[in-house]
Structure 1
């Protein structure tokens, strides 16, 4: 049983967005983004209990509209069909789901009985006219994202596989939750979400206490607590029914439609879908309020939900919408009687600058990268982690490229298995172990990019540290585009430490790097030792080590040890373990000792200067055997 929707404390914007999707499913759904433990999943699941019922035929796997049944639905196209009122489908798409389970496949049970080819509908068919829910949607494998993009664009699911040719409607509201610490979404999928809401746990102690109080009461007596909220739940469901009936009558003045386009242009939103979503969302807000006329305030609220994830931003720029800028656009575009502000702006007061407000204090700013640096791995990876950097052979996820005989397949190739059984003995059809086939998939994998950054005093002037940060930011941009995990180890003073543990959020890596202090001695051996420990303890993602230092080690790992010899010995250990590496020599001046180059030789790695890193169209090739 779900937690009652009306019992959720606060989260006004989130609840509004979910109710809007309930009134108008064509909005495209809502992306709920925020910290863990902020009731994202609770609110999404609670929505199902207040949704108005839909009409469907019992036993229909395609959730057909009784008036327009799918041509492939044996239930709705049968005789004596009678529809009943049923709950709206709420289908969860697991991250580990196979493509066959999502899009549908050959009904193996019917095939084994010798019947003609029968299509077994998948999750997309089950979600038709309902909600498709994806928890941690930013971790969804790329091959499933590609499927969702096709279906979301066309509103139908087309299956051409295993001798089947089936097309059926698949229109649903897409609701996804995600935590930015695990990385962002692909831009194409991000744009498919009509609305986006940022959520956070309440900071007011009274509100937090009420949240805990209600949750404890719900867990102590789930059924009793849910019954105590039935009146408010029923009332809200009635409001949704009324809004759905009123929506076709809602009108929008042409001046407000022009305002929508003006706002989208001023925020440099490329996708025209933003204009359409704001239009639909504003009408939906009016219907929820029981009005047939859209107001400027409806436009503003709709823009707050439809624009933050669509405006142009750089890879490390924080998402969000400048509220003051939005107020300015509303006031400038509308006549005074339509102003959303009670007071008139002072014409002698210049508008506040959007840039530089509440900017975090930085130790040294980073130089902008003059070119996009790209890391290329020259040996194919064989890992299951999803990403976009390397081609993975025999991947556990991805596109099926062929099938091979295998008596104990981990992923059964149905068509090849059945074909083998039929060809072996068509008159007496049965499957033997020799008929079984394994699916061979190909996909893309990610890497763990481990940045080891020298922040000691030997890095010299502030100007030099700014150049180092700019170089790392260029490499972080490359990691962002390839959906890698990144980690940052900094070393200065007497030891090395984690500046950022492994994460998919390169925004966090960039933020930590900007605040990195410098100065002190150079514990290079400590940093290499910590990097070796990190690589040894993490299995799954193939690691890449990027070391930025001038190599002037002067802090020993062992008491009485030689700092430089210890560093070389650890570099040899990294190379012997098969760890691919790249060294960026940060040494400056006319007379150079070349320590970083010697270190690169011990690591069996390329060594580049920061000047070379800034060269146009540079491709950094990291050589080594990936394990």
Structure 2
């Protein structure tokens, strides 16, 4: 087996990638699918070719683009056939046509949440249900998905709603050696495994080991152990066994659980001949733990339980440094697709991206959608040509009869400009903690906003109240000058700072912008809204402002700049319904990523 390379998921080595393809070919509907992260190139072509060679000849193979319409994906009215027949004729849709086969989803890193959600619902229920255009269709569907992910950046990923339901996560995006020679399995072996699969049994010990492994690896989804069970049964059938054994459980843990790991399991078992330590040892770093887990040549002791063996196999498959990168992101499980975009979507009459159609009269600020208008009129043509129970014998019978209620106009959505409002606590307590580092982090965020042509604003609050240092602007130079002169010292009028940020956000919303509030504070409020000192009153006012901010529905991020996370700052973030980020060192990269992630919500 090839050694895994740095930065490559555990399924990325070629042998494991081919094994995942074979297990998927044995049970496409049970495994639900594979996420293949790899740019177009020889490695992906060879893997797809290998998969096609493992599937039986009559297996339907369809490729679905990311911009497919709902009527083609789930089925709907066949407009051409309906106009020809004078009555509604249904189009079954791609998913129904692919029943019993495999579907390729292209460029899933750009797939919309709506399309991913519809496909995920079909995977969950096994049913394609469609009710539109006067038609009701309900079809049973069992298929497998190959989600092609061509993302480059970490936040360019297949939607979680889809990848969470697919058993195997294969990453071929790094440097790897493609093994030559005949494959370990062929179509004949897969066909035999399919016949044996219904007879394969899985014992309670194996099920318990997979569940314990998922929990120890920090896998939150309940689907993961269920998918691992299906992978273990497919592994047993592929090897000609009617019962799952230790080898099959280890394969399932390595291919299904390890790529989803969010934590490293702790190794509590010692070798029987290990002598007790002479002195307490410092806690091992993650890198040391991973190095010990990745020693594939270590002896598996006879007294090791199946739970421990599964954990060792899964931990050994986790790439070095992967979990460190996830932890640095704060909330690394949240992956966003908003890089390079700005603002929220708003309705538009004539500009932007088409977003369906609605009833309406064309003209002025709206455009006629001819196809949807014909689609609405098609089911009624035969009825409209009847006069007193008999069909009209005129030339008008050959024409399409359209009535005012059939008119459909196109809806458009376009992105608005984002205004990122930085409300910086410049009081004495915050200045003593991390104010200087916060300035550097804010400058990096300002540069990022400038690249995306968004606007930024900076206000500071200290002493008697807030001060607007930088009105909304795109000028990076002006922003840096305002931060350079950011003073520090005095009390913390936290309520006043929140109120000022809300007023600025309300003004931006009225202008059609999408405001994002980033509050940097240590939460040590001691100046009330009326300007009087007093910690209790100041905290009550701050919580009141936070609850009001929550009611306004703004996207907000609270960055706790204290040396240690402060309980009041956490409570304040909860009352604001803001994302909380404890950042004692004000790391610019982490803070910038957190703001982008908050903007994607």
TM-score, L = length of structure 1: 0.54
Map 1:468-487 → 2, pairs under 5 A: none
1:83-232 mapped onto 2 (5 Å cutoff): 87-178=58-149, 179=151, 180-202=153-175, 207=177, 232=182
Once the two structures are superposed, the pairs formed by residues 191-590 of structure 1 within 5 Å of their partners are 191-202=164-175, 207=177, 232=182, 236-308=186-258, 335-336=303-304, 389-390=344-345, 392=347, 396=353, 402=359, 404-405=361-362, 409=369, 412-418=372-378, 425-426=385-386, 427=392, 428-431=397-400, 437-438=407-408, 440-441=410-411, 463-464=434-435, 490=444, 531=450, 534-535=452-453, 543=454, 545-546=455-456, 574=474, 587-590=487-490
Deviation for aligned residue 1:425: 4.9
Measured in 2, the distance between the counterparts of 1:156 and 1:323 equals 46
Paired residue secondary structure (2:35): strand
Could you tell me whether the CA contact under 8 Å between 1:51 and 1:87 is conserved in 2? no
For structure 1, which runs of at least 5 residues remain unmatched after alignment? Answer: 1-8, 54-85, 215-228, 345-350, 373-382, 473-487, 499-529, 536-542, 552-566, 576-581, 621-627
CA deviations over 1:36-93 (Å, ceiling 9, x no partner): 357574256324531443xxxxxxxxxxxxxxxxxxxxxxxxxxxxxxxx53111111
How many residues of Structure 1 are paired with residues of Structure 2 in the alignment?
437
Structure 2 CA distance for partners of 1:465 and 1:357, relative to 1, 3 Å: farther
CA shift for structure 1 position 192: 1.3
Structure 1 stretch displaced more, 179-188 or 442-451: 442-451
1:618 aligns with 2:585: no
After superposition, the Cα gap between the structure-2 partners of 1:23 and 1:357, relative to the gap in structure 1 and judged at 3 Å, is closer
Question: Does structure 1 conserve the Cα–Cα contact (< 8 Å) formed by 2:200 and 2:236?
Answer: yes
- 2:14 alignment partner in structure 1: 11
Structure 1 residues 88 and 33, CA gap change in structure 2 (3 angstroms): closer
Offset, 1:128: 1.0
Runs of at least 5 residues in structure 2 that lack an aligned partner in the other structure = 1-11, 264-285, 387-391, 425-429, 462-468, 476-481, 493-499, 509-514, 524-541, 543-557, 559-568, 579-601
On the 8 A contact 1:268/1:311 being kept in 2, the answer is yes
Would the alpha carbon gap of residues 255 and 572 (structure 1) be closer, same or farther in structure 2, given more than 3 Å must change?
closer
**How far apart are residue 548 of structure 1 and its match?**
5.8
| Whole-angstrom CA distance in 2 between matches of 1:258 and 1:334 | 19
- Give me the whole-angstrom Cα distance separating, in 2, the residues matched to 1:129 and 1:275: 24
State the 1:98 CA deviation: 0.8
Q: Distance in 2 between matches of 1:159 and 1:244?
A: 31
* CA–CA distance in structure 1, aligned partners of residues 201 and 58 of structure 2: 30
Q: Is the 8 A contact 1:104 1:122 kept in 2?
A: yes
> 1: distance between equivalents of 2:14 and 2:248?
18
1:25 pairs with one of 22, 28, 34 = 28
SS of the residue 2:189 aligns to: helix
Quote the Cα distance in structure 2 between the aligned partners of 1:414 and 1:331.
Answer: 71
Are residues 590 and 121 of structure 1, via their aligned partners in 2, closer, same or farther at CA, if it must alter by over 3 Å?
A: same
